[in-house]
Chain A
Amino acid sequence: MDRRKFLKKSMILGSAFWLPRFPACKEKKSALSEKSRVIVAQDPAVLNKRSVEGDKLLKLLDNAVQTYFDCDHPVDAWRKIVQPGEVIGLKVNCLSGRGSTHRELVEAIAERLRQAGIRESDIIIWDRLNKDLEECGFKIRYKGKGVKCFGNDAVGFAPNLQVFGQAGSLVTRILTNLCDGIINIPLLRDHSIAGVSIALKNLFGAIHNPNKYHLNKGDPYIADVNSFPVIRKKVRFTIVDAIEAQYHGGPSFMPQWRWKFGGLLVGYDRVAIDYTGWRIIEEKRKEKGLPALKEEDREPKYIFTAGDADHQLGEANPLKIETIKI
Chain B
Amino acid sequence: MNQQDKYRIDLPPGKAPHTMGRRSFLKIASSTCLLIGTPVLNWSNRSALFAMSPDDKRFVREARFYEKLQHSQVRCKLCPRKCVIDDHERGYCGVRENQDGTYYTLVYSRPCTFHVDPIEKKPLFHFLPGTTAFSIATAGCNLNCKFCQNWQISQVTPEQVDSYYLPPKKTATMAKDYNSKSIAYTYSEPTIFFEYMYDTAVEGKKQGVNSVVITAGFMEKDPVKDLCKVVDAIKVDLKAFTEDYYQKVVRGNLKPVLETMETIRNQGTWLEIVYLVVPTLNDGEKEIRELARWTMANLGPDVPIHFTRFYPQYLLKNLPPTPVSTLEKCKAIADAEGLRYVYIGNVPGHPAENTYCPKCGKILVERTGFLIKRMEITDGRCPYCKTAIPGVWRI
A157 at the interface (CB under 8 A from B): yes
Smallest Cβ distance from B189 to chain A, in angstroms? 13
Contact B50 A211 (CB under 8 A): no
Task: Report B36 CB to chain A, min CB distance, Å.
Answer: 19
Q: Which residues of A contact B94 (CB under 8 A)?
A: 209, 211-212
Flag if A157 contacts B54 (CB, 8 Å). Answer: no
Is A202's CB within 8 Å of the partner chain B? no
Least distance between B210 CB and chain A CB atoms (Å)? 33
**What residue in chain B is nearest A254 (Cβ atoms)?**
B71
Chain B nearest CB, measured from A223 CB (Å) = 17
Contact B87 A156 (CB under 8 A): no
Once the chains bind, are A156 and B51 in contact (CB under 8 Å)? yes
Contacts of B173 in A (CB 8 A): none
The answer to whether B160 has its CB under 8 Å from any CB of chain A is yes
A249 CB–B CB distance under 8 Å: yes
Residues B156 and A131 in contact, CB atoms below 8 Å apart: no
B55 touches A170 (CB 8 A): no
Closest chain-A Cβ to B373's Cβ sits at a distance in Å of 39
By the criterion CB–CB under 8 Å, are B47 and A214 in contact? Answer: no
B110 smallest CB distance to A (angstroms): 16
Q: How far is the CB of B154 from chain A (nearest CB, A)?
A: 10
Q: Are A214 and B92 in contact (CB under 8 A)?
A: yes
Q: What is the distance, in angstroms, from A197's C-beta to the closest C-beta of chain B? A: 11
Which chain B residues in 37-51 approach chain A with CB under 8 Å? Answer: 47-51
Using A129-B54, A131-B54 as known contacts, say yes or no to A156 and B88 having CB atoms under 8 A apart: no
* A159 engages B47 (CB within 8 Å): yes
Bound Cα distance from A95 to B86, whole angstroms: 11
CA distance A163 to B90 in the complex (A): 23
Determine the residue in chain B with the shortest Cβ distance to A168: B315
Residue among B86, B90, B251 with most chain A CB within 10 A: B86
Contact B87 A153 (CB under 8 A): no
B251 close to A173 (CB less than 8 A): no
Q: For residue B34, give the distance in angstroms from its CB to the closest CB of chain A.
A: 22
In-complex Cβ contact of A170 among B49, B251, B315 (8 A): B49
A contact residues vs B (CB 8 Å cutoff): 95, 97, 129, 131, 152-154, 156-159, 161, 163, 168, 170, 173, 192, 208-209, 211-212, 214-215, 249-254
Q: State which of B51, B55, B72, B93 has its C-beta within 8 Å of the C-beta of A211.
A: B93
Complex Cα gap A131–B84 (Å): 24
Is B376 at the interface (CB under 8 A from chain A)?
Answer: no
* Pair A209/B86 contact, Cβ less than 8 Å: no
Residues A156 and B314 in contact, CB atoms below 8 Å apart: no
Contact B86 A158 (CB under 8 A): no
Q: Which residues of A contact B150 (CB under 8 A)?
A: none
Is B355 on the interface with A (CB-CB < 8 A)? no
Contacts of A131 in B (CB 8 A): 54-55
For A251, the chain B residues whose CB sits under 8 A away are: 86, 89
Contacts of A158 in B (CB 8 A): 48
Seed contacts A95-B89, A212-B94, A249-B71; 5 additional CB < 8 Å A-B pairs: A153-B160, A154-B51, A158-B48, A170-B49, A215-B92
At the interface, yes or no: B308 with Cβ under 8 Å from chain A?
no
In contact, B86 and A157 (Cβ under 8 angstroms): no
Contact with A along B15-58 (1 / 0, CB 8 A): 00000000000000000000000000000000111110011000
Closest Cβ–Cβ distance, residue B145 to chain A (whole Å): 11
With A153-B159, A170-B49 as contacts: A163 and B54 at CB distance below 8 Å: no
**Chain B, residue nearest A215 (CB):** B251
Could you write out 12 A-B pairs with CB less than 8 Å apart?
A: A95-B89, A129-B159, A153-B160, A159-B47, A161-B314, A192-B86, A208-B155, A211-B93, A212-B144, A251-B89, A252-B87, A252-B88
The number of chain B residues touching the other chain, given as a range, is 20 to 34
**Known A131-B55, A156-B48, A156-B50; contact A168-B314, beta-carbon cutoff 8 A:** yes
How many residue pairs link A and B with beta carbons under 8 A? The number is 74
Choice from B54, B86, B92, B155 contacting A153 with Cβ under 8 Å = B54
Query: Chain A interface mostly helix, strand, loop or mixed?
Result: loop
Q: Does B157 contact A (CB under 8 A)?
A: yes
**What string of 1s and 0s marks CB contacts (under 8 Å) between B88-114 and chain A?**
111111100000000000000000000
Does B88 contact A95, Cβ atoms closer than 8 Å? yes
Given known A129-B159, A159-B48, contact A212–B92 (CB-CB < 8 A) = yes
Q: Contact: A163 with B48, CB < 8 Å?
A: no
Contacts of B92 in A (CB 8 A): 211-212, 214-215
Neighbouring B residues of A215 by C-beta, 8 Å: 92, 251
CB interface residues, B 48-76, toward A, < 8 Å: 48-51, 54-55, 71-73
Given A131-B54, A211-B91, A251-B89: A163 in contact with B156 (beta carbons within 8 A) = no
State whether A252 touches B54 (Cβ < 8 A).
no
| Most chain B C-beta atoms within 10 Å of own C-beta, residue among A131, A192, A208 | A208
Q: Which residue of A lies closest to B90 (CB)?
A: A211
Give the docked Cα–Cα distance between A282 and B275 (Å).
47
Binary CB contact string for chain B from 148 to 170 against chain A (1 if under 8 A, 0 otherwise): 00000001110110000000000
Can you name the residue of chain B whose Cβ is closest to the Cβ of A250? B86
A208/B88 contact (C-beta < 8 A), A215-B251, A252-B72, A254-B71 known:
no
Q: How far is the CB of B84 from chain A (nearest CB, A)?
A: 7
Interface contact B160-A157, CB-CB below 8 Å: yes
Choice from A95, A168, A208, A253 contacting B160 with Cβ under 8 Å = A208
- Separation in Å of the A267 CB from the closest CB of chain B? 28
> Which residue on chain A has the smallest CB distance to residue B159?
A153
> A159-B47, A192-B84, A215-B251 given as contacts; is B71 within 8 A of A209 (CB)?
no
CB-CB under 8 A from B315, the residues of chain A are: 161, 163, 168
Q: A156-B49, A211-B93 are in contact. Are A97 and B88 (CB under 8 A)?
A: yes
With a cutoff of 8 Å between Cβ atoms, the chain B residues found around residue A95 in the complex are 88-89
Complex Cα gap A156–B50 (Å): 5
Q: Which residues of B contact A214 (CB under 8 A)?
A: 92
Residues of A contacting B155 in the complex (Cβ-Cβ under 8 angstroms): 208-209, 212
Q: What are the residues of chain A within 8 A of B314 when measuring CB–CB?
A: 161, 168
B156 — nearest CB in chain A belongs to which residue? A208
Bound: A170/B72 CA distance, A: 31
Output the nearest chain A residue to B84 by Cβ-Cβ distance. Answer: A192
Contacts of A159 in B (CB 8 A): 47-48
A184–B90 alpha-carbon span in the complex (Å)? 23
Select B49's contact among A97, A208, A211, beta carbons within 8 Å. A208
B90 touches A157 (CB 8 A): no
- B54 contacts which chain A residues (CB < 8 A)? 129, 131, 153
How distant is B357 from chain A, measured CB to nearest CB, in Å? 45
**Nearest 4 pairs of A and B residues by beta carbon:** A153-B51, A252-B87, A211-B94, A159-B47
Measured in the bound complex, the distance between the Cα atoms of B156 and A208 in whole Å is 7
